[in-house]
């Protein structure tokens, strides 16, 4: 792939901002738009910019009303708005949208933001009967649901449990490996004052926790919480004149294999795709655009809505062989600070906060800046991913400027 015709090294993330993270529903009486606004203003301030500099929005996972938000913020001239379809798979990809807008000349300064407030709703109630408590997200009846729901495939937890079971069957992956993901992630989170989870997690606690959807227990699930995170992207030339060293966008990719589709509700895929994170096509294009490989990545921020998906992403991004993710994790490779590839140094969706993946992008920026709480020594290149979920999944490679 010719770098002249890609995003490689042409843009950078220059500002990051976040609200406090709240237990589910405890951000009230703030509104989701207020939370988003606070995160955006914090990110602009971090960059040394103001609302007057902002001219674009790159969103994902349903987003929100950009016209109202721009008016509320006081953005003088909106030149670009875009949104990736799907759910949590778009976090890293939203920065790719921002970079594409800047490289094409459609915008100069673009914010990617995610806000989440679950005061009256829970993702676990998505498939509850309409009209029941907490069922505001409920989907209408569908032909697919008529087949999957009677089998107990009611929500993401049950659906990803099936993927995990298949991986265990094919490759000998065990719950011990999932436990290691949960424990190492928690160990990272408790060093950060803003994390929702502040107590260590032991092996005994993990295996004594209630089973929710075999093999996934309580600690294999991400947190439901409230908050907002924003990142600001601009051209590499402009980035060099701003407050912090630029987090250079080496590459961004999103999409996935057509056979993956809406994987959490379609159970008819071949094992090659089903017992995976669905990220392999994205990983190939990401590395090709950046001109690097997995051996060049110093820290990985892997979307961890469920702990087994970290194991599968390690395989799909080439850090170990297919089927070897469990052993890779079990050998301590993802632990900070001594593992060969520290993973989710911020605590991830499992233990810091679940803001649908945007915390992973923020941590990637802090790692290449050299300002992370759990800083990886000498980190030059950081990988952040969005998903696994239905298409699109996405990924982002950031680097420290030489």
How many whole angstroms separate alpha carbon 384 and alpha carbon 132? Answer: 37
The tens place of each residue's pLDDT in the chain, 402 residues long, gives: 555 668 999 999 999 999 999 998 899 999 999 999 999 999 999 999 999 999 999 999 866 788 899 999 999 999 999 999 877 889 999 999 999 999 999 999 999 999 998 865 555 555 555 555 555 555 566 677 777 777 777 778 888 999 999 999 999 999 999 999 999 999 999 999 999 999 999 999 999 999 999 999 999 999 989 999 999 999 999 999 999 999 999 999 999 877 665 655 555 677 778 889 989 999 999 999 999 999 999 999 999 999 999 999 999 999 999 999 999 999 999 999 999 999 999 999 999 999 999 999 999 999 999 999 999 999 999 999 998 877 889 999 999 998
Q: Are strands 225-235 and 247-255 parallel, antiparallel or unpaired?
A: unpaired
Q: For domain 3-119+225-400, give its CATH number from 3.30.450.40, 3.40.47.10, 3.30.390.30, 2.60.40.1930.
A: 3.40.47.10
Find tokens 């140094």 and name the residue: 345
Q: Which helix (H) or strand (E) holds 176?
A: helix 175-189
Task: Kindly report the backbone phi and psi dihedral angles of residue 203, in degrees, each rounded to the nearest multiple of 5, phi listed first.
Answer: -60, -40
Which token pair is 250? 């080496």
Q: What is the pLDDT of residue 29?
A: 94
Give residue 182's pLDDT. 99
- Centre a 10 Å sphere on the Cβ of residue 77 and count the other Cβ atoms it contains: 10
Q: Is 206 a catalytic residue?
A: no
Q: At what angle do helices 91-103 and 358-369 cross, to 10 degrees?
A: 70
Would you say 278 and 257 are in contact if contact means Cβ atoms under 8 Å apart?
yes
Q: How many CB atoms within 10 Å of residue 208?
A: 10
Give Rg (Cα) of the chain.
20
- Whether 303 is catalytic: yes
Q: What's the rounded Cα separation, in Å, for the pair 393 and 154?
A: 21
Tokens of 166: 């298949």
User: How many whole angstroms separate alpha carbon 266 and alpha carbon 249?
Assistant: 33
User: How is residue 228 written in tokens?
Assistant: 């907002």
- Catalytic position from the list 22, 206, 287, 303: 303
Question: Using alpha carbons only, what angle is made at residue 56 by residues 227 and 279, rounded to the nearest 5 degrees?
Answer: 65
pTM (predicted TM-score): 0.94
pLDDT score of 224: 86
Residues 335-364 as b/e (b if ≥16 CB within 10 A, e otherwise) read bbeebebbbbbbbbbbbbbbbbbbbbbbbb
DSSP 343: B
């Amino acid at each position: 792939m010719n770098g002249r015709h890609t995003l490689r090294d042409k843009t950078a993330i220059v500002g990051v901002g976040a609200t406090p993270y709240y237990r589910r529903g405890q951000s009230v009486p703030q509104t989701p738009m207020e939370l988003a606004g606070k995160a955006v203003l914090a990110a602009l301030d971090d960059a040394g910019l103001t609302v007057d500099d902002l001219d674009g929005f790159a969103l994902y996972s349903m987003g929100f009303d950009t016209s109202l938000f721009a008016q509320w913020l006081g953005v003088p001239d909106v030149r670009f708005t875009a949104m990736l379809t799907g759910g949590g798979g778009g976090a890293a990809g939203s920065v790719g949208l921002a970079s594409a807008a800047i490289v094409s000349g459609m915008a100069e300064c673009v914010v990617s933001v995610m806000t989440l407030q679950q005061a009256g709703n829970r993702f676990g109630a998505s498939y509850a009967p309409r009209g029941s408590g907490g069922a505001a997200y409920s989907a209408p009846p569908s032909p697919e649901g008529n087949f999957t729901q009677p089998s107990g495939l009611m929500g993401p937890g049950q659906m990803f449990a099936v993927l995990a079971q298949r991986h265990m069957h094919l490759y000998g992956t065990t719950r011990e490996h999932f436990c290691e993901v949960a424990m190492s992630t928690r160990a990272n989170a408790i060093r950060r004052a803003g994390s929702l989870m502040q107590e260590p997690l032991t092996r005994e606690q993990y295996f004594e926790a209630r089973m929710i959807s075999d093999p996934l227990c309580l600690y294999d699930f991400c947190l439901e919480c409230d908050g907002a995170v924003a990142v600001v992207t601009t051209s590499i030339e402009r980035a060099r004149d701003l407050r912090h060293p630029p987090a250079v966008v080496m590459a961004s990719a999103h999409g996935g294999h057509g056979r993956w589709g809406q994987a959490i509700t379609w159970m008819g895929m071949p094992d090659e795709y089903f017992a995976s994170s669905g990220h392999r096509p994205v990983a190939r294009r990401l590395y090709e655009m950046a001109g690097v490989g997995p051996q060049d990545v110093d820290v990985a921020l892997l979307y961890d809505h469920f702990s087994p998906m970290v194991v599968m992403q390690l395989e799909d991004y080439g850090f170990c062989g297919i089927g070897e993710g469990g052993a890779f994790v079990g050998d301590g490779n993802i632990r900070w600070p001594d593992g060969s590839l520290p993973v989710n140094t911020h605590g991830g969706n499992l233990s810091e906060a679940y803001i649908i993946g945007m915390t992973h992008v923020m941590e990637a920026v802090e790692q290449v800046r050299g300002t992370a709480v759990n800083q990886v020594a000498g980190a030059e290149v950081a990988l952040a991913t969005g998903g696994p979920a239905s298409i699109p999944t996405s990924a982002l490679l950031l680097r420290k400027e030489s």
